[in-house]
Amino acid sequence: MTATIALVDDDRNILTSVSIALQTEGFLTRVYSDGETALKALTDNPPDLAIFDIKMPRMDGLELLRRLREKSHIPVIFLTSKDDELDEALGLAMGADDYIAKPFSQRLLIARIRAILRRTELATSPIEEDAATGAGPLVRGRLSMDPARHRTTWGNEPVTLTVTEFLILETLAQRPGIVKTRNQLMDAAYHDDIYVDDRTIDSHIKRLRRKFRQVDPTFDAIETLYGAGYRFSEE
Protein backbone atom coordinates (compact mmCIF):
# COMPACT_ATOMS: atom_id res chain seq x y z
CA MET A 1 0.00 0.00 0.00
CA THR A 2 1.08 3.58 -0.66
CA ALA A 3 1.97 5.42 2.54
CA THR A 4 0.28 8.73 3.35
CA ILE A 5 2.43 11.53 4.80
CA ALA A 6 0.95 14.59 6.52
CA LEU A 7 2.93 17.84 6.42
CA VAL A 8 2.26 20.58 8.99
CA ASP A 9 4.16 23.84 8.46
CA ASP A 10 3.26 27.50 8.19
CA ASP A 11 5.88 27.95 5.44
CA ARG A 12 4.04 27.47 2.14
CA ASN A 13 7.29 27.00 0.23
CA ILE A 14 8.28 24.05 2.42
CA LEU A 15 4.80 22.52 2.15
CA THR A 16 4.91 22.75 -1.63
CA SER A 17 8.49 21.58 -2.20
CA VAL A 18 8.37 18.68 0.28
CA SER A 19 4.95 17.58 -0.94
CA ILE A 20 6.17 17.46 -4.54
CA ALA A 21 9.31 15.54 -3.53
CA LEU A 22 7.28 12.97 -1.60
CA GLN A 23 4.76 12.53 -4.39
CA THR A 24 7.63 11.96 -6.81
CA GLU A 25 8.76 9.13 -4.53
CA GLY A 26 5.29 7.57 -4.63
CA PHE A 27 3.86 8.85 -1.34
CA LEU A 28 0.43 10.39 -0.89
CA THR A 29 0.50 13.74 0.92
CA ARG A 30 -1.80 15.96 2.96
CA VAL A 31 -0.74 19.48 3.88
CA TYR A 32 -1.80 21.75 6.76
CA SER A 33 -0.58 25.27 7.47
CA ASP A 34 -1.20 25.31 11.24
CA GLY A 35 -1.45 22.94 14.17
CA GLU A 36 -5.07 23.59 15.09
CA THR A 37 -6.31 22.68 11.62
CA ALA A 38 -4.05 19.64 11.49
CA LEU A 39 -5.01 18.18 14.89
CA LYS A 40 -8.58 17.22 14.03
CA ALA A 41 -7.61 15.85 10.62
CA LEU A 42 -4.73 13.78 12.04
CA THR A 43 -6.97 12.39 14.77
CA ASP A 44 -10.00 11.64 12.60
CA ASN A 45 -8.06 10.22 9.64
CA PRO A 46 -4.51 9.32 10.73
CA PRO A 47 -1.78 9.24 8.07
CA ASP A 48 1.05 6.71 8.15
CA LEU A 49 3.53 9.39 9.28
CA ALA A 50 3.45 13.12 10.03
CA ILE A 51 6.07 15.85 9.70
CA PHE A 52 5.71 18.88 12.00
CA ASP A 53 7.48 22.20 12.08
CA ILE A 54 8.14 23.20 15.70
CA LYS A 55 7.67 26.96 15.32
CA MET A 56 4.09 27.62 14.13
CA PRO A 57 1.42 30.19 15.05
CA ARG A 58 -1.82 29.26 16.86
CA MET A 59 -0.49 25.84 17.94
CA ASP A 60 3.19 24.97 17.74
CA GLY A 61 4.56 21.54 16.90
CA LEU A 62 5.23 20.56 20.51
CA GLU A 63 1.66 21.27 21.59
CA LEU A 64 0.34 19.51 18.50
CA LEU A 65 2.40 16.44 19.34
CA ARG A 66 1.31 16.49 23.00
CA ARG A 67 -2.36 16.58 22.07
CA LEU A 68 -1.95 14.07 19.26
CA ARG A 69 -0.24 11.58 21.58
CA GLU A 70 -3.37 11.54 23.77
CA LYS A 71 -5.17 9.75 20.92
CA SER A 72 -2.64 8.46 18.41
CA HIS A 73 0.83 6.96 18.11
CA ILE A 74 1.52 7.68 14.46
CA PRO A 75 5.23 8.31 13.76
CA VAL A 76 6.25 11.98 13.83
CA ILE A 77 9.34 13.75 12.46
CA PHE A 78 10.09 17.29 13.66
CA LEU A 79 11.57 19.99 11.46
CA THR A 80 13.68 22.29 13.62
CA SER A 81 16.11 25.17 13.32
CA LYS A 82 19.74 24.64 14.29
CA ASP A 83 19.17 26.53 17.55
CA ASP A 84 16.22 24.44 18.76
CA GLU A 85 18.16 21.86 20.80
CA LEU A 86 15.88 22.25 23.84
CA ASP A 87 12.76 21.89 21.69
CA GLU A 88 14.26 18.83 20.00
CA ALA A 89 14.88 17.21 23.38
CA LEU A 90 11.34 18.01 24.55
CA GLY A 91 9.86 16.68 21.33
CA LEU A 92 11.74 13.40 21.55
CA ALA A 93 10.78 13.01 25.20
CA MET A 94 7.14 13.56 24.25
CA GLY A 95 7.22 10.83 21.63
CA ALA A 96 8.60 12.24 18.38
CA ASP A 97 10.47 9.66 16.30
CA ASP A 98 13.16 11.85 14.76
CA TYR A 99 14.07 15.43 13.93
CA ILE A 100 15.79 17.09 10.99
CA ALA A 101 17.31 20.57 11.16
CA LYS A 102 16.52 23.22 8.59
CA PRO A 103 17.79 23.72 5.96
CA PHE A 104 17.59 20.02 5.15
CA SER A 105 18.18 17.68 2.24
CA GLN A 106 14.95 16.27 0.84
CA ARG A 107 16.80 13.02 0.10
CA LEU A 108 17.71 12.77 3.77
CA LEU A 109 14.11 13.44 4.82
CA ILE A 110 12.82 10.75 2.46
CA ALA A 111 15.43 8.29 3.73
CA ARG A 112 14.32 8.96 7.33
CA ILE A 113 10.66 8.54 6.38
CA ARG A 114 11.36 5.17 4.76
CA ALA A 115 13.41 4.01 7.76
CA ILE A 116 10.70 4.95 10.25
CA LEU A 117 7.91 3.39 8.16
CA ARG A 118 9.96 0.20 7.86
CA ARG A 119 10.58 0.19 11.60
CA THR A 120 6.87 0.69 12.28
CA GLU A 121 5.95 -2.14 9.93
CA LEU A 122 8.39 -4.53 11.59
CA ALA A 123 7.27 -3.51 15.07
CA THR A 124 3.79 -4.79 14.28
CA SER A 125 4.89 -7.86 12.33
CA PRO A 126 5.13 -11.40 13.76
CA ILE A 127 8.31 -12.24 15.65
CA GLU A 128 8.93 -15.10 13.21
CA GLU A 129 10.10 -12.54 10.65
CA ASP A 130 13.42 -12.27 12.47
CA ALA A 131 14.17 -15.89 11.70
CA ALA A 132 13.24 -15.39 8.06
CA THR A 133 15.48 -12.34 7.62
CA GLY A 134 18.29 -13.53 9.88
CA ALA A 135 18.29 -10.14 11.60
CA GLY A 136 18.71 -10.82 15.30
CA PRO A 137 19.55 -8.48 18.18
CA LEU A 138 23.05 -7.06 18.56
CA VAL A 139 24.29 -7.64 22.13
CA ARG A 140 27.42 -5.98 23.51
CA GLY A 141 27.73 -6.24 27.27
CA ARG A 142 24.79 -4.38 28.79
CA LEU A 143 23.76 -3.03 25.39
CA SER A 144 21.13 -4.77 23.28
CA MET A 145 19.98 -3.42 19.91
CA ASP A 146 17.23 -4.91 17.76
CA PRO A 147 17.71 -3.40 14.27
CA ALA A 148 14.51 -4.93 12.88
CA ARG A 149 12.33 -3.24 15.48
CA HIS A 150 14.58 -0.29 16.29
CA ARG A 151 14.65 -1.15 19.99
CA THR A 152 17.55 -0.41 22.30
CA THR A 153 18.09 -1.37 25.92
CA TRP A 154 20.89 -0.82 28.41
CA GLY A 155 20.86 -3.30 31.27
CA ASN A 156 17.27 -4.19 30.30
CA GLU A 157 16.20 -0.55 30.55
CA PRO A 158 14.76 0.86 27.30
CA VAL A 159 16.55 3.78 25.64
CA THR A 160 14.64 5.68 22.97
CA LEU A 161 16.83 6.64 20.01
CA THR A 162 16.14 8.48 16.80
CA VAL A 163 16.91 6.71 13.52
CA THR A 164 20.15 8.67 13.16
CA GLU A 165 21.29 7.94 16.71
CA PHE A 166 20.47 4.25 16.29
CA LEU A 167 22.54 3.96 13.09
CA ILE A 168 25.54 5.70 14.66
CA LEU A 169 25.46 3.55 17.80
CA GLU A 170 24.93 0.36 15.79
CA THR A 171 28.00 1.19 13.67
CA LEU A 172 30.11 1.68 16.79
CA ALA A 173 28.77 -1.40 18.60
CA GLN A 174 29.23 -3.77 15.68
CA ARG A 175 33.01 -3.68 16.24
CA PRO A 176 33.80 -2.88 19.88
CA GLY A 177 37.20 -1.32 20.44
CA ILE A 178 37.59 -0.26 16.80
CA VAL A 179 37.81 3.49 16.25
CA LYS A 180 35.29 4.90 13.79
CA THR A 181 36.08 8.24 12.21
CA ARG A 182 33.46 10.93 11.90
CA ASN A 183 33.36 10.30 8.15
CA GLN A 184 32.61 6.63 8.72
CA LEU A 185 29.80 7.51 11.11
CA MET A 186 28.45 10.05 8.60
CA ASP A 187 28.37 7.37 5.91
CA ALA A 188 26.46 5.05 8.23
CA ALA A 189 23.86 7.63 9.26
CA TYR A 190 23.47 9.63 6.05
CA HIS A 191 23.60 9.08 2.31
CA ASP A 192 27.13 9.31 0.97
CA ASP A 193 26.19 12.31 -1.16
CA ILE A 194 24.68 14.31 1.72
CA TYR A 195 27.15 16.60 3.45
CA VAL A 196 27.07 17.12 7.19
CA ASP A 197 29.87 18.73 9.16
CA ASP A 198 31.85 17.14 11.99
CA ARG A 199 29.88 19.01 14.63
CA THR A 200 26.70 17.20 13.57
CA ILE A 201 28.20 13.81 14.48
CA ASP A 202 29.59 15.26 17.71
CA SER A 203 26.11 16.52 18.60
CA HIS A 204 24.59 13.08 18.01
CA ILE A 205 27.26 11.45 20.21
CA LYS A 206 26.52 14.00 22.93
CA ARG A 207 22.82 13.17 22.76
CA LEU A 208 23.51 9.43 22.83
CA ARG A 209 25.60 9.76 25.97
CA ARG A 210 22.98 11.94 27.62
CA LYS A 211 20.19 9.45 26.90
CA PHE A 212 22.15 6.47 28.25
CA ARG A 213 23.21 8.42 31.34
CA GLN A 214 19.56 9.07 32.12
CA VAL A 215 19.28 5.29 32.51
CA ASP A 216 22.77 4.73 33.96
CA PRO A 217 24.67 7.77 35.29
CA THR A 218 27.95 5.79 35.07
CA PHE A 219 27.58 5.08 31.33
CA ASP A 220 30.94 5.53 29.57
CA ALA A 221 30.80 2.97 26.74
CA ILE A 222 31.22 5.57 23.96
CA GLU A 223 34.79 6.80 24.08
CA THR A 224 36.26 9.81 22.31
CA LEU A 225 39.66 9.43 20.66
CA TYR A 226 40.66 13.03 20.07
CA GLY A 227 41.73 13.66 16.51
CA ALA A 228 40.62 10.16 15.48
CA GLY A 229 36.94 9.56 16.20
CA TYR A 230 34.87 7.40 18.54
CA ARG A 231 34.74 3.79 19.67
CA PHE A 232 32.40 1.56 21.66
CA SER A 233 33.92 -0.07 24.72
CA GLU A 234 32.26 -3.39 25.59
CA GLU A 235 32.10 -4.03 29.30
231 or 69: which leads in pLDDT = 231
| Contact call for residues 10 and 22 (beta carbons, < 8 A) | no
Do the bridges between strand 143-146 and strand 138-140 make them parallel or antiparallel, or are there none, so unpaired?
antiparallel
Q: Tell me: the pLDDT tens digits for 163-199?
A: 788 889 999 999 999 999 988 888 877 654 555 555 7
Q: Report the distance separating Cα 3 and Cα 27, nearest Å.
A: 6
Contact 108, 191 (CB under 8 A): yes
Mean pLDDT of the chain: 84
pTM above 0.75, yes or no: no
Average pLDDT (86-91) is: 64
**Angle made by CA atoms 51, 56, 57, in degrees to the nearest 5:** 145
pLDDT at 86 over 80: no
The total number of residues shown for the chain amounts to: 235
Are 136 and 130 in contact by the 8 Å Cβ rule? The answer is yes
pLDDT tens digits for range 22-37: 999 999 999 999 888 8
DSSP string, 102-168: SS--HHHHHHHHHHHHHHHHHHTS-TTHHHHHT-PPEEETTEEEETTTTEEEETTEE----HHHHHH
Q: What is the CA radius of gyration of the chain?
A: 18
Q: Which helix (H) or strand (E) holds 92?
A: helix 85-94
**pLDDT tens readout for residues 109-164:** 898 898 888 877 765 555 444 444 445 789 999 999 998 777 899 998 999 887 78
Selected residue with higher pLDDT from 31 and 78 = 31
**Cβ atoms 129, 122 nearer than 8 A:** yes
Residue 204 scores a pLDDT above 50: yes
User: How many CB atoms within 10 Å of residue 212?
Assistant: 24
Nearest C-alpha neighbor of 120 from the set 160, 146, 149, 159: 149
